Amino acid sequence: MYTSSEFSTWVSRPWKTIRVQAQPASNDWKISGISHDTRTLKAGEVYIAIRGENHDGHDFVEQAVAKGAAGLIVEKDFPNIQVPQLVVPDTLSALWQIAAGARTTWQGTVIGVTGSAGKTTVKEMIASVLSQKGTVSKTLGNWNNEIGLPLSMIAADRASDYFVFELGMNHPGEIDLLAGLLKPDWALITNIGKAHIGFFRTLAEIADEKAAILNHAKHGVLDADSEWFGRMKERFDGRVVALTDEPFRVSQPGAHMMQNARFAATLGLELGLSKEEVQAGLDEFNPAPMRWATSLYHGMVFINDAYNANPLSMRAAISTFAELPCAGRKFLVLGGMLELGDCAEEEHRELGRFVDSFGFERVITIGGLGAQIVCNGLPGVEKAVAAQVLRDELRAGDMVLLKASRGERIETILAELKKEL
């Protein structure tokens, strides 16, 4: 909960108020939150009109008011709309100013998580672990970019004991800016891989970009076994903690999940939790949607890991799938990996060779990028074709893994398949 005077102070602009009968007499009024999307805006929140690549939030101001927006943050005056308005030069800058203002009111421990893969999972694991000791606010979903992070920060309960946020990037300079806004007490870097390498020239550049979170942190948790550990550590003046070797259990399979848990466990132990509390938090961890989401349908196991993919996370998922016990056959359904730039064709071909090394009974690749995953399988088909092939060939005891970048929306194959399976 915020007050109108806080928002006004943080953006250095006065509210333009149109007096109506329903408006409180007080010059200072309560704000329950902030929203940039009229589809999810709740009554009592302030609507901030942000200009995007495809839409201008100012076109939806009337919808926001109709849904009960308590006020507007806009770049131009709307004189015919009778709600308080903060008119600012740039609404995205105002969003950052409000998030920065909110950050100054936090008293709890602030944690920032970045890396090429596993950010959301580690964030959720940390939140689950730390909830054993105190109250936790965390990133909403995967809102980890220039809009999502400040929105998540503003949505946080300011009285929380812990604040856990993930920082994402796809262009140089983003992590430094996001970390400068968050100002984490603790920074965690999960790993370095070729995610978004289309915007960088080398893995070293990606490592340096991720390491920029340390520019604004007091403490860092790093993987001492990473080839990038020394490069990151020598550029950081704060305290560095290596991952714990204490044994902990996780419910999900795979070495990568155990590695994710080590980050959460290390931080939990550093913040004073007992081993028993850390384990309890890991036991209560629930993965985010479409991250190794396993379902049983007519005797067949479907693993929806379709939230996102890059060369690192693809290999981790496929290796884990290969190790799972299975009464029947294993089917692999893969889509393309986005934002790989000039490396895209090479990375997809290398992935194809990696897939062939396991000898899966059936591999289906989807679309143009999927066709570049050259392997012993059905290449580059449409989603409807893939669904039909699975419908015709699957039987009880079989397992299916679906994985691709978010933009490929490969999970729709599963939804289509289950309609008539």
Phi, psi of 73 (to 5 degrees): -115, 115
What rounded mean pLDDT belongs to the chain? 93
Residue 271 to residues 67, 110, 131, 185, 257: CA-CA distances in angstroms? 42, 11, 12, 11, 21
The pLDDT value recorded for residue 215 is 96
Measured CA to CA in angstroms, residue 322 lies from 41, 109, 332, 340, 378 at distances of 43, 39, 10, 25, 19
Looking at the predicted structure, is the pLDDT value of residue 22 above 50? no
Region 309-336: mean pLDDT is: 96
Residue 85 has what pLDDT?
A: 95
Residue 174 φ/ψ, nearest 5 degrees: -70, -45
Residue 25 predicted with pLDDT over 60: no
pTM: 0.89
pLDDT score of 19: 52
Domain annotation for the chain: domains and CATH numbers = 2-96 (3.40.1390.10), 106-284 (3.40.1190.10), 293-420 (3.90.190.20)
Question: Can you tell me whether residue 113 is helix, strand or coil?
Answer: strand
Q: What is the pLDDT of residue 420?
A: 76
CB 191, CB 117: distance < 8 Å? yes
Reported as a single tens digit per residue, the pLDDT across 214-238 is: 999 999 999 999 999 999 999 899 9
Asked whether residue 142 carries a pLDDT value surpassing 90, the answer given is no
Q: How confident is the model at residue 17 (pLDDT cuts 50, 70, 90)?
A: confident
Partner residues linked to 85 by β-bridges: 16, 72
Model pLDDT, residue 24: 41
Alpha-carbon gap, residue 13 to 85, rounded angstroms: 10
What is the pLDDT, as a whole number, of residue 298?
92
Instruction: Return the percentage of the chain with pLDDT > 90, whole number.
Output: 86
Least confidently predicted of 6-20, 39-53, 214-228, 385-399: 6-20
Confidence of residue 54 (pLDDT cuts 50, 70, 90): confident
pLDDT of residue 26: 53
Residue 164: pLDDT band by 50, 70, 90 thresholds?
A: very high
Residue 174: predicted pLDDT: 95
Tell me what the mean pLDDT of segment 267-286 comes to.
97
pLDDT for the residue numbered 52: 87
pLDDT band at 21 (very low <50, low <70, confident <90, very high): very low
- Residue 151's pLDDT band (cuts 50, 70, 90): very high
Token output for 365 = 């690749």
Mean pLDDT of 325-343: 94
SS (H, E, C) 169-208: CCCCCHHHHHHHHHCCCEEEECCCCCCCHHHCCCHHHHHH
Q: What is the pLDDT of residues 352-365, one digit of tens each?
A: 999 999 999 999 99
CA distance 131 to 166: 17
pLDDT above 70: percentage of residues in the chain: 97
Read off the pLDDT of residues 99-123 as tens digits, 9 standing for 90 and up.
999 999 999 999 999 999 999 999 9
Query: Do 149 and 165 touch, CB atoms closer than 8 A?
Result: yes
